[in-house]
Amino acid sequence: MRKSILAITLLLSLANADQLIKLQITGMMCPACVSNVKSSLNGTTGVKETTVFLKNGTAEVKADSSVKPEALCTTVKSAGYGCKVAK
């Protein structure tokens, strides 16, 4: 009984494995831009955590596996910034 619960838990955690998406963002000039980008990304379904770096114009997004990197860029663009998915 206990083993099967463990197996199910493991399967679920594999299905919901997080991914780390890196984005290249242009047009961020100040900390207010950073928080704009951050809050728009955090408002996206499946996004768990966002870190935005103003200095090099990048963002790291921890999201579940259902999230498409391109969709995150669309979100950033609609907030008024340029975005590319970093490889």
- The residue ranges that bind Cu ion (CB under 5 A) are 29-30, 32-33
Residue in the structure block whose two tokens are 């970093």: 86
Q: How far is the CB of 71 from Cu ion (least distance, A)?
A: 23
Identity of the residue, 5 or 32, whose beta carbon is nearer to Cu ion in the bound complex: 32
Identity of the residue, 17 or 29, whose beta carbon is nearer to Cu ion in the bound complex: 29
Kindly state the tokens that stand for 34: 């950073």
Identity of the residue, 33 or 72, whose beta carbon is nearer to Cu ion in the bound complex: 33
> Could you tell me if 44 and 67 are in contact, meaning their C-beta atoms sit under 8 angstroms apart?
yes
For residues 1 and 32, give the distance between their C-alpha atoms in angstroms, rounded to a whole number: 52
